Amino acid sequence: MGVNPDLQGRSYPPTQPYAVGREKIREFAAAVKAGHPAHSDLEAARELGHADLVAPPTFAVVLAQRAEQAVVKDPDSGIDFSRVVHADERFTHHRPIVAGDELVATATVETVKSLGGHSMVTTRADIATTAGEPVSTVRSTLLVRGEE
């Protein structure tokens, strides 16, 4: 079963609000081996002018992938999660994510392309505060490998 081409252009409802916590930032930073003190030490973050601990540059993927789950789990999508390989990713930060932020992410399927037996699905996740301030835009392309 291939990916449903009708997904293209489809938008999904925003995710539940996500409260960015200090311990989550510390945990994520450790997981990507990001040793900068602004991820873990409040004083270091404030010295650089940040309101609180700063999330690593790829932390927004936590929000984006929650939003993308709506696409992958869409009963209509035809996406077999175990056959998904990540093809590309791009983060555009309007401002850094810091602890204390309350964020929502909204996924939109920008394109669905077929390539041989495979499909390429590009989604955009618009991440904003619950007050509506744009924070990050995350573009992600999944390669869904066809059965061999």
Partner 1 sequence: MQKGDSIGSSTIRLDRADLVRYAGASGDFNPIHWSESTARSVELPGVIAHGMLTMGAAVQLVTDWCGDPGRIVDYQTRFTQMVPVPEDGGATLEIAGKVGAVDTEAGTARIDLTVTDPGNDGARVLTKAQAVVRLAEQ
Residues at the contact surface with partner 1, assessed by CB under 8 A: 24, 27-28, 30-36, 38-39, 48-50, 54-58, 61-62, 65-66, 81-93, 96, 139, 145, 148
Going by C-alpha positions, the residue among 20, 25, 10 that lies closest to residue 127 is 20
DSSP letters along 48-113, please?
Answer: TT-SSPBPPTTTHHHHHHHHHHHHHT-TTS---GGGEEEEEEEEEESS--BTT-EEEEEEEEEEEE
Give 89 or 110: the residue with its C-beta nearer to partner 1.
89
- State the minimum distance, in angstroms, from the CB of residue 78 to partner 1: 16
Coil, helix or strand at residue 3: coil
- Tell me the one-letter amino acid at 89: E
- State the minimum distance, in angstroms, from the CB of residue 42 to partner 1: 14
Q: Tokens at residue 54, please?
A: 């700063």
- State the minimum distance, in angstroms, from the CB of residue 13 to partner 1: 19
Give 5 or 90: the residue with its C-beta nearer to partner 1.
90
Give 6 or 22: the residue with its C-beta nearer to partner 1.
22
- State the minimum distance, in angstroms, from the CB of residue 89 to partner 1: 6
Q: Tokens at residue 101, please?
A: 């932020």
Give 6 or 102: the residue with its C-beta nearer to partner 1.
102
